[in-house]
Amino acid sequence: MTEHEKKLLQAKHRLEEAHARDRVKERKVRTRRLIQEGAILEKALPQVQRMTLEQLEDFLWEVFKSVR
């Protein structure tokens, strides 16, 4: 492998690592947003804490079906 090929391979790997870091950052932002939205939902409707995920989904669809 020539020196030029090594440099190209290193550059490729650096780019892949940068993309991986970006994906991790995006995932963390999404996770934080979902947690915050869930906290707001629980604060506004405390009864959702006692619901299963299926019950919560059914409840939300029922509440918002006229909005769609």
CA angle (62 as vertex; 53, 40 as ends), nearest 5: 55
pLDDT at position 4, please? Answer: 93
Q: Is the pLDDT of residue 68 over 70?
A: no
* Sign of torsion over alpha carbons 31, 37, 39, 41: negative
Better-scored residue on pLDDT, 44 or 66: 44
Measured in whole angstroms, how far is the alpha carbon of residue 49 from the centre of its chain? 21
Q: What is the per-residue pLDDT across 5-64, written as a single tens digit (0 to 9) for each?
A: 999 999 999 999 999 999 999 999 999 999 999 999 999 999 999 999 999 999 999 999
Residues 6+ apart with CB under 8 A from 57: none
